[in-house]
Amino acid sequence: MKYVAGVDIGNATTETALGKIENGVLTACVSGISGTTGIKGTKENIQGIIHSLKDATGKLSVELSALDLIRINEATPVIGDFAMETITETIITESTLIGHNPDTPGGIGLGIGKTILITELDHADKTEKYIVVVPEEIDFLDAARIINDKWNEGYEIEGAILKKDDGVLVSNRLNRVIPILDEVEVIGRVPLGMLCAVEVAAPGSCIDLLSNPYGIATVFQLNPKETKQIVPIAKALIGNRSAVVIKTPAGEIKERRIPAGEITVHGGQRSYMASVDRGAREIMSVVEKVNEILDITGTQGTNVGGMLEKVRAEMAALTEQDYKDVFIKDLMAVDTIVPKEVQGNLANEFAMEKAVGIAAMVKTHRLHMERLAEALSEELRIPIEIGGVEGSMAVLGALTTPGTEKPLLVLDIGAGSTDACFIDEKGNTKPIHLAGAGNMVTMLISAELGLDDFKLAEDIKKYPLARVESLYHIRHEDGSVQFFEEPIDSKLYARTIIVKPEGWKAVKTKKPLEKIKQVRREAKEKVLIQNILRALRKVSITGNINEFEHVVLVGGSSLDFELGNMVTEVLSYYGIISGKANVRSTEGPRNAVATGLLLSYLRDLEEHEVRERRI
């Protein structure tokens, strides 16, 4: 009787499959799991390995010292990184104020006039029309009184801009209805004596005139060339309930294209170049053109160049290789639109800017698993073997899923890279490693929602959403309602929350739940689903995805609450059976590599016996 353990050291978890082997037959098999300690492939992993092993030996009621052999995985020698490259930038010069969307603006309609401080009206020319600017020190009662008085004196006041959140209070005390915009934070920067338009729409509607380039052209009497220039303003104002646009003589708003650099894909025969600012499609078409990528480089001195060199340097340091020997073997680019604060804004205005997200992947020689194996063997006094390649082991493990058969493609979506392995009818395996995985999805969610918080974006990616509808109930994103005995924390009232197993977390954004959900699903679709299709095209001999029958997801990321279903949905279109693995009918998508390591031992044992019998 023998006890053999397969141990898979992953980036996040260390998994064990422990088998009891009697006369060459596996009579019992249990699993163990523990968090990985230290960076994968370093001696710090030993603590985690021991924990994981003990978790498994406990289930078979044997001591750790009873083990006859431990087989650890040969780590996939890839590392991924990602970056975001903004292509456009909206710049306002000379404080030309653009859109502003406070919760409760006052009044309704459109007002056009020259900006003037409310306290300066006494000396103003009565033949002009005005938009009054009300600083913080003027109370809303005084502001309303002054405007009413000045109307009586014959002044023409067409609208107001307020620092404080008093728009409705002022409006309710005026004798006439004018549009009033409030909560303008840096009111001191509103240029005075300039032509200005203020628009407020009725509750439930959006502004109509200032979000239309020709509307702005009508207000400010612009020529066709000037009208073209103000398109970014109109674009930034779409969907707002209120807005203000001020025209200063030298002021302008422009959309600038940032020189984003070029990417060069070096193939065996020739190299191809793509300009980052042409977007993801062009970059990907170049990447797909090259069958066997030797290296990818970026223009020096640009963001993309810097990012690619950073990946290279990190990998060189981790594997103690020379910087020059590290090559970037794959790259994934995704188009996105991100909210960026407008430069020169007055009230935190945002403009939606075009950007490209880029992920890169590096391949290297074997990681230092030998050193780890030696150290582990010394510590435990048990023989350690380095088993086969991670991908092949994952295939062996995944094949224990009921309903699967060869040929089969196994997908492991990690944090930094997507690893796939194909096994044909004869049992030959072919591993593929692609750039772009979980971290890139998180980056897209964070950027598109303007969160600036990677942890929050990570939670949005992993868990479903809900909205707190009253102090006693929430509505989940699928529409189902859940009631509670105790009142919910009032800080969460009417907010979108992330339903984490350990508790709720508020998403402090004005964006509705539906929008957050849409961004989350689209990010997964853009990166993960696209990568699955890319992997299929790469292993296919004919380039036709339809030739596959089984695609199985393994690894921690396939525990994602919606990814399995998304993949099944997309691949069923191609007639492919796909879904999460259920390793050994019990483990779900976990433990595939560890199980594969154990099974490969049995396979080797069988082959050995057959050979001996022949002799």
Partner 1 sequence: MMGDKSGKTLQIEIFCSPEGEAFARAVGYGLEEEGLPYQVETGEEYSPETAYESSQQGGLGVSVLIKEGWISVYTRQLKEKRPLFYEPAADPDIAKLLGKNAARIVKNKPFLEIDSEMENRKDQSLAPKWAAQL
Nearer to partner 1, 226 or 477 (CB): 477
**126 exposure class (CB count in 10 Å sphere: 0-12, 13-18, 19+):** exposed
Applying CB under 8 A, does 167 fall inside the site for partner 1? yes
Applying CB under 8 A, does 353 fall inside the site for partner 1? no
Cα–Cα distance for residue pair 1/204, rounded to 1 Å: 75
Among 470, 513, 547, 549, binds partner 1 (CB under 8 A): 470
Residue 24: partners with Cβ closer than 8 Å, 6 or more residues away: 602, 605, 606, 609
> Would you tell me how many other CB atoms lie within 10 Å of the CB of residue 131?
27
Phi then psi dihedrals of residue 536, to 5 deg: -60, -45
Q: How far is the CB of 487 from partner 1 (least distance, A)?
A: 6
**Is the C-alpha dihedral spanning 561, 562, 563, 564 positive or negative?**
positive
Q: How far is the CB of 471 from partner 1 (least distance, A)?
A: 5
Among 172, 205, 348, 586, binds partner 1 (CB under 8 A): 172
Q: Which of 43, 50, 46 is nearest to 65 (CA)?
A: 50
Nearer to partner 1, 185 or 288 (CB): 185
Applying CB under 8 A, does 490 fall inside the site for partner 1? yes
CB distance 326 to 316 below 8 Å: yes
Structure tokens at 125: 């020319």
| HEC assignment per residue over 321-350 | CCHHHCEEEEEEEEEEEEEEECECCCCCCE
Applying CB under 8 A, does 168 fall inside the site for partner 1? yes
Count of positions on this chain that bind partner 1 (CB under 8 A): 20
Cα–Cα distance for residue pair 110/195, rounded to 1 Å: 13
Nearer to partner 1, 203 or 402 (CB): 203
Nearer to partner 1, 171 or 297 (CB): 171
Binding mask 99-118 for partner 1 (x = CB under 8 A): ----xx--------------
Q: How far is the CB of 378 from partner 1 (least distance, A)?
A: 56
Q: Characterize 554-581 residue by residue with b for buried, 16 or more Cβ atoms within 10 angstroms of its Cβ, and e for exposed.
A: bbbbbebeebbebbbebbeeeebbbbbb
Among 214, 323, 454, 493, binds partner 1 (CB under 8 A): 493
Q: How far is the CB of 182 from partner 1 (least distance, A)?
A: 9
Binding mask 203-242 for partner 1 (x = CB under 8 A): x---------------------------------------
Applying CB under 8 A, does 142 fall inside the site for partner 1? no
Q: How far is the CB of 512 from partner 1 (least distance, A)?
A: 12
> Would you tell me how many other CB atoms lie within 10 Å of the CB of residue 175?
9
**Is the C-alpha dihedral spanning 478, 482, 488, 494 positive or negative?**
positive
Binding mask 430-469 for partner 1 (x = CB under 8 A): ---------------------------------------x
Applying CB under 8 A, does 472 fall inside the site for partner 1? yes
Residue 17 — left, alpha, or beta (φ > 0 → left; ψ -120 to 50 → alpha)? beta
By CB under 8 A, name the binding residues for partner 1: 103-104, 140, 165-169, 172, 203, 469-472, 487, 490-491, 493-495
